[in-house]
Structure 1
Amino acid sequence: MKNLCLGLCLSLLPALALAAGTDKFSNLDGNPGLRSASALVLDGSGNVIYGKDTNTVRPIASITKLMTAMVILDAGLDLDEKITITRDDRDLVRLTGSRLEYGASLSRREMLLLALMSSENRAAHALGRTWPGGLDAFIAAMNLKAEQLGMRNSQFADPAGLHSDNLSTASDLATMIRAAAKYALITEASTTRGLAVRPYPRRGVLNYSNTNRLLKNQNWDIGLSKTGYLDEAGRCLVMQAVIEGEPVSIILLNSFGKLTPFGDSNRLRKWMLANT
């Protein structure tokens, strides 16, 4: 009987170790002191590690581009097909500029990479404009995808996130990044640190960098990433990362100050590690 009990205990050790691992960041003491208006941190099982104002509907700026990428990839469109930037892709909402001038031509894959990695607005808009049925049909597909994912407090108004009517909550965005992480091209593109493209036949390359500076920080192991900014949205950042061997999702919305989302991310990580 004693040997039987010992055998049972030994057989349960892997399961107990796994359970202990998933509980590594449960019931943490103190407060990370975040400056983002909304914040949500989940473990790999979807349990809340930290939450702050998670159900307030807010503009999400370029976080929108993750939905744009999912809708493009769901359609199975030819990623090698060339897409050309036209006057229709200029930003008439914020009047932002772009190094992708009219006539710039890149593959659909490269446009997607630039939209996610460096938050290129014209690239994102061109992806939606060239959708079968046009831009309006693409935006309808974005909202249908959100509905299918169960993002009940979200809506999308354009592919780039330039309209303040792109709205969501921290809770809904946790659902969205969990879905986005299933697309290998999205995880690759959103964590690529730099990319050189050649959109003009008689010019040199254009070099782009990722908008998430934490990708250069050796303390971070990031598997998915997207930043966003509008006056109405403040600074936003969503990520999936591994901290002390544990996968976590981080959503930070409406931070003020260019570096605040990165500072909040580091404060979160420090707080979590101090409690383990």
Structure 2
Amino acid sequence: MAAQAGRFACVLGAAACLMTASLSSASAAERHKAPAAKKQAASAAAAPRKTASSRAVAHKPVAAARVSRSFVAGRTSAPARIAYVPARQSYGQIAGLHEAFDPLSLKSSVAYVIDQDTNEVLLSKNDSAVLPIASITKLMTGTLISEAKLPMDEMITITQDDVDTEKGSSSRLVVGATLSRGEMLHLALMSSENRAAHALGRTYPGGLATFVTLMNAKARQLGMNDTHYVEPTGLSSRNQSSARDLATLVGSAYQDPLLRELTTSPNYTVDIGRRTLQYNNTNRLVSNPAWDIGVQKTGFINEAGQCLVMQAKIAGRKLIMVFLDSAGRLSRVADAERVRRWVESSSAAAAMMAAKPNNG
């Protein structure tokens, strides 16, 4: 274990030598059009000095992720602080987190599996690394909307303010589309609809700034001290958290019947004017009869990689699973499947041992 921990520390040391630079925000289309030389020049011109506080950096356009030196069994109180260059690689890839060993050969650089009832940690891999969480953000957005007890039949109209200018993502909810708050919440949690999530925050009493403030206040209330939000969709890489914090959020969301219902809904249809739009769940496992999922949320942006959080019942145990920075479009689902088979086989082996006669 000491050799593995030393190897991981070396990886982090190498990652710390990376440029602490950041490109200014631009749409995906603009970044594709810019020549490579122009992007390199812009990155060099925008390179900031490394700040002494990763917490302070999280409030600035240049996002810095704190990567723990801990390796599965150990934790330190002084995590490494690394600033990253936004690129096709995720923050975890740049930091070398994928080099960490785990017994299941998961594709996620961060994984955390705990028993919901006993808090027993079954699997831990880079669990205190603080990374972008993409649309896992919407689980907190849904938590606030549900707790506020706002009228779910109140109509909300998509405006230009809800259009993504950071990533240039598309949406079938055109400007002018009107749905009820309940429908917006359903689409945000089930199919990760960004404009719906933004509209929910924008129309919250007090406006978007108040909503984001309350997101962070709720995180503090839950003890999510590694977590920081800047907007309600997850499109910003400055929405960051750790696997341990997200497990706490999943456990809290599971207590809300509305969040359980909407996040595990397989599909949903809405009428917008003369159009009928069919939406599907972004997590294919909710339709898999082999799974008993209580609450879930997926997420993806380049900086975060593929992400998945779930509460599920496996081998008679209620488990909370967090997978962050998974490489490959289907790898987060494959990692969840690996964990399920591992837990089931371990439980079967334990049952056999318990049933074995004691000849001593």
| TM-score band, normalised by shorter chain | 0.7 to 0.9
Q: Could you tell me which amino acid in structure 1 is paired with residue 299 of structure 2?
A: G
Aligned to 1:241, which of 303, 308, 312? 312
Give yes or no for contact 1:194–1:208 (8 Å, CA) kept in 2.
Answer: yes
Task: Quote the Cα distance in structure 1 between the aligned partners of 2:335 and 2:135.
Answer: 19
Give yes or no for contact 1:31–1:271 (8 Å, CA) kept in 2.
Answer: no
Tell me, what secondary structure is at the counterpart of 1:205?
strand
Task: Quote the Cα distance in structure 1 between the aligned partners of 2:287 and 2:320.
Answer: 19
Aligned to 1:91, which of 135, 153, 164? 164
* Uncovered stretches (5+) of structure 1, i.e. residues with no partner: 1-29
Is 1:39 the counterpart of 2:105? The answer is: no
Task: Quote the Cα distance in structure 1 between the aligned partners of 2:175 and 2:199.
Answer: 11
Q: Could you tell me which amino acid in structure 2 is paired with residue 237 of structure 1?
A: L
RMSD: 1.0
**2:248 aligned partner:** 175
Give yes or no for contact 1:121–1:160 (8 Å, CA) kept in 2.
Answer: yes
**1:139 aligned partner:** 212
Task: Quote the Cα distance in structure 1 between the aligned partners of 2:148 and 2:268.
Answer: 25
Task: Quote the Cα distance in structure 1 between the aligned partners of 2:283 and 2:240.
Answer: 21
Q: Could you tell me which amino acid in structure 2 is paired with residue 242 of structure 1?
A: K
Counterpart mapping for 1:183-198 below 5 A? 183-198=256-271
Is 1:49 the counterpart of 2:101? The answer is: no
Counterpart mapping for 1:147-158 below 5 A? 147-158=220-231
Cα deviation, residue 242, structure 1: 0.5
Percent pairwise identity: 50
**2:193 aligned partner:** 120
Cα deviation code 1:130-176 (max 9, x no counterpart): 01111111100100000100000000011100100000000000001
Task: Quote the Cα distance in structure 2 between the aligned partners of 1:76 and 1:224.
Answer: 20
Task: Quote the Cα distance in structure 1 between the aligned partners of 2:235 and 2:306.
Answer: 13
Q: Could you tell me which amino acid in structure 2 is paired with residue 65 of structure 1?
A: K
Task: Quote the Cα distance in structure 2 between the aligned partners of 1:272 and 1:69.
Answer: 30
Q: Could you tell me which amino acid in structure 1 is paired with residue 318 of structure 2?
A: P
Cα deviation, residue 33, structure 1: 1.8
Tell me, what secondary structure is at the counterpart of 2:206?
coil
* Uncovered stretches (5+) of structure 2, i.e. residues with no partner: 1-101, 348-360
Cα deviation, residue 84, structure 1: 0.5
- Structure with bigger RCO (C-alpha 8 Å, 6+ apart): 1
Task: Quote the Cα distance in structure 2 between the aligned partners of 1:125 and 1:196.
Answer: 20
Q: Could you tell me which amino acid in structure 1 is paired with residue 146 of structure 2?
A: L
Is 1:212 the counterpart of 2:322? The answer is: no
Task: Quote the Cα distance in structure 2 between the aligned partners of 1:111 and 1:218.
Answer: 27
Is 1:106 the counterpart of 2:179? The answer is: yes
**2:138 aligned partner:** 65
Segments ≥4 residues shifted beyond 6 Å: none
Q: Could you tell me which amino acid in structure 2 is paired with residue 253 of structure 1?
A: L
Cα deviation, residue 78, structure 1: 0.9
Give yes or no for contact 2:190–2:282 (8 Å, CA) kept in 1.
Answer: yes
Count of residues paired in the alignment: 245
Aligned to 1:166, which of 239, 246, 249? 239
Give yes or no for contact 2:136–2:307 (8 Å, CA) kept in 1.
Answer: yes
Cα deviation code 1:190-211 (max 9, x no counterpart): 00000000122xx131000000
**1:77 aligned partner:** 150
Cα deviation, residue 72, structure 1: 1.1
Tell me, what secondary structure is at the counterpart of 1:151?
coil
**1:231 aligned partner:** 302
Cα deviation, residue 44, structure 1: 2.3
Cα deviation, residue 34, structure 1: 1.0
**2:46 aligned partner:** none
Task: Quote the Cα distance in structure 1 between the aligned partners of 2:272 and 2:263.
Answer: 20
